[in-house]
Amino acid sequence: MTVNPKFGDDAQLLRRAGFAIAAQITVAVAATLLVVGLLAYSLTIRAEHTAEERAVRQAAAAARGVTDPGGGVVLIEQLVNGQVHASDDAPADLIRMNPRAVPAGRSATRIGGRDYEVFTVDHGDGRRVVALLDVTLRRQSGERLISSLLWAGVVGVLGAALLGILLGRRAVRPLGRALELQRRFVADASHELRTPLAVLHTRAQLIARRLSRDAAHDRRRPADEYIDDHVSQLVADTRALGEVVEDLLLSAELQSKPGVGELVDVGELAHDLVRSVRPHADERGVTLGVEISGDQSLLVLGVRSSLRRALAALVDNALGHNHPGGRVTVYACRRKHGVELTVEDDGDGLDPAQAEQLLQRFARGPETGGQGRRFGLGLALVREVLHAHSGSLTIDGCPGEGARFTMMLPAAGHSPRL
C-alpha cells in the first residue's frame, strides 16, 4: 500500500479552509430547514389529516340515519333490505356507490376526480354506514406546502452556501495575514542575522589563520593545540549556522516566489550525502549505497541545503531503524513528471496506513518487534521542505520488511507547481 500526501501552497490551504467553513454552514442551514419543514408539515397537514379522520369516524359511528352530520361529511347508508340512502348534499357519484364494496374501517378513495377520507361502520341492526369527507383541497394545499418548502429549502441552501463562502473567506483572512507575517518574520530575521553571523565567522577564521601562522613560526604554546581545535570547531559551527540562516531565507523566498532558487543536481547531491554519511553507516554495520538511473538531467530548482537536509533526514531515519548487516540504498532517477529521490531500507518497516500520522511533528511510529520507528521531527521537516519545493512524498513499506520513502520534485524547466 502506498500513501502519497500532496502539498499545496498556503493559498490553497486557506481556500480549502474557507470552503470547509462554507460547507459546514450550508449543512447546518440545510439541517435546520429540514427540521423546520418537518415541523411545519406535522403541525399543519398531519394535524388536518388527523382531524379529518376523527370527523368521519365519529359521523359513521353515531349515525342514526343519513341526516346531514355537518362539517362537510357525507353519509351513505345501506339497510338490511339493500336499500341505499344518502345525505341530501351527497354528489351523484357517491350516491351510485355500493357501500358493501367499501372495506370496513378507515380507508381512502378517489371518486369522480375527488379525494375522500372514508370510514365504514357496520351497526348492530344490520345497517352499513359509510362516512366520506372531501379532502381534495387539503391534499392540494399539502402538495403546495411541500413544494414551497422544497423550493424554500433549495433557495435557503444556496443562500447559505454563498453566505458561508463569504464568511469563510472573512474567517480565514486573519489566518492568511498570520501566515504572511510568519513568512515575513522568518525572512526578516534571517536577513538581519546574516551580517552578524558573517562577522562572527570571519573573526573565527582570522583567529584560526593567526594560530596557523604561529604554528608555522614555532610560536605555539602547549595550550595552543587545545585552542586550535576549538577554534577550528568554532569556524565549522559558524559556517553551519550561517548555512541554516541562509537556508531559512531562501526557503521563505522560495515559498513566496516559486521561481527563485538555484539549479541543484540531485544525482550529485545524493552521491555527496552518501559519501558524508557512509562512515556513520559503517559504524552501525549497515551498508549504504547510491544508484543513479539513466543519463537524463537530474536538475531541480530549489535550495540545495534544504534538499540535502531532507534527504539526510530520510537516510538518517533509515539507518536509525535498521539492523547490523542491513542495507540502505539511495536511488535517483528521472521520471515523466519530475525527478525522483528514493531511500529504501530493509529494516523494521512501517504500516503505510499510519503514514499521514508519521508526517506530523513529534509523531512516533508504533513499536514493532520491541524496537519501533521513533519518528520525531525528521519526516515533518521533510514534508515542509517538499512543500516549499512543490514536491510530494510517497511512503511505502510493511512491518518487519523495510520501508521506502520517495521524494518527487519538479524538474528544472518544468512548472514548479506539479
Instruction: Please spell the DSSP secondary structure of 153-172, one letter per residue.
Output: HHHHHHHHHHHHHHHHHHHH
Of the three residues 82, 109, 142, the one that is the final residue of a domain is 142
Report pLDDT for 68. 66
| 220/25 Cα distance (integer angstroms) | 77
DSSP 410: P
Judging by beta carbons within 10 Å of its beta carbon (0-12, 13-18, 19+), is residue 319 exposed, middle or buried? buried
Residue 384 falls within a domain, yes or no? yes
| 127/238 Cα distance (integer angstroms) | 111
Residue 345 falls within a domain, yes or no? yes
Report pLDDT for 250. 63
* Radius of gyration of the chain from its Cα atoms, rounded to whole angstroms: 41
| 375/6 Cα distance (integer angstroms) | 20
Alpha carbon separation from 347 to 24, 271, 287, 319, 326 (Å, rounded):
44, 22, 12, 8, 7
Coil, strand or helix at 406? strand
The cell for 203 is 573573526
Backbone angles phi, psi at 166, to 5 degrees: -65, -45
pLDDT tens, the chain, 418 aa long: 444 444 445 666 677 777 888 888 888 888 888 888 888 777 777 778 888 888 888 888 887 777 767 778 888 888 888 888 888 778 888 888 888 888 888 888 888 888 888 999 988 888 899 988 888 888 888 788 788 888 888 888 888 888 888 877 787 777 777 767 666 666 666 666 666 777 777 877 887 777 777 666 665 555 556 676 767 777 777 776 776 666 666 666 665 555 556 888 999 999 988 988 888 888 889 999 999 887 777 898 888 878 888 898 889 888 888 889 999 999 999 988 889 999 999 888 877 776 666 666 545 554 444 344 444 456 777 877 887 788 888 888 888 788 889 999 988 765 444 3
Residue 179 falls within a domain, yes or no? no
Residue 47 falls within a domain, yes or no? yes
Of the three residues 100, 121, 142, the one that is the final residue of a domain is 142
Report pLDDT for 366. 47
- CA angle in degrees (0–180, nearest 5) for 183-187-188: 115
Instruction: Please spell the DSSP secondary structure of 12-58, one letter per residue.
Output: HHHHHHHHHHHHHHHHHHHHHHHHHHHHHHIIIIIHHHHHHHHHHHH
Of the three residues 88, 113, 142, the one that is the final residue of a domain is 142
The cell for 76 is 351513505
Residue 231 falls within a domain, yes or no? no
How many domains, the chain?
2
Residue 418 falls within a domain, yes or no? no
Residue 228 falls within a domain, yes or no? no
Report pLDDT for 418. 35
CATH number at residue 358: 3.30.565.10
For residue 17, what are the domain limits? Answer: 13-142
